[in-house]
Amino acid sequence: MFLAVVGCAEQAPALPPPVIAGMSSTAAPPSAAHLAAQPVAGQAGGEVRLSGAGYPAHGRVVFTFHGRRVGDTTADAVGRFAEVPVRVPDSFGDSAPGTQFTIGATSGPVSAETPFVLTR
């Protein structure tokens, strides 16, 4: 059996071409930095060891806990650091158990963050 459909199908209106955003020469490239904390949870006053990669070679890396500076280190020749000890500030001891904070590591325009959960 053969069925023919004759007629005019309604066409959808043409969509405008997609807008492609260009990158200006002043835009910072996306950060490829990575930061890890060990352990990922602990008490105020406790020690956390930080490891990271993707930072500027031999760059100074500053660590923050919820925006408060807690230490620094120097990245190696390929932009890495490992097992750098920092302390969770005692001032966060009044926070409720389970509260999540952010640990950050920044070197110039390059930065990364990792979560940290406060326990009792």
Number of residues in the chain = 120
**pTM for this prediction:** 0.73
Q: What is the pLDDT of residue 46?
A: 96
Q: Report how far residue 40's alpha carbon sits from residue 100's, in angstroms, rounded to the nearest whole number.
A: 10
Residues 6 or more apart whose CB falls under 8 angstroms from that of 67 comprise 102, 104
Q: What is the pLDDT of residue 2?
A: 47
Q: Report how far residue 40's alpha carbon sits from residue 116's, in angstroms, rounded to the nearest whole number.
A: 5
Q: What is the pLDDT of residue 9?
A: 45
Q: What is the pLDDT of residue 4?
A: 46
pLDDT tens readout for residues 71-100: 999 999 999 999 999 999 999 989 999 999
Judged by DSSP in three states, 9 sits in: coil
In the chain, which residues have pLDDT < 50?
A: 1-10, 12-13, 15-16, 18-28
3-state helix, strand, coil in the chain (%, to 5): 5, 40, 55
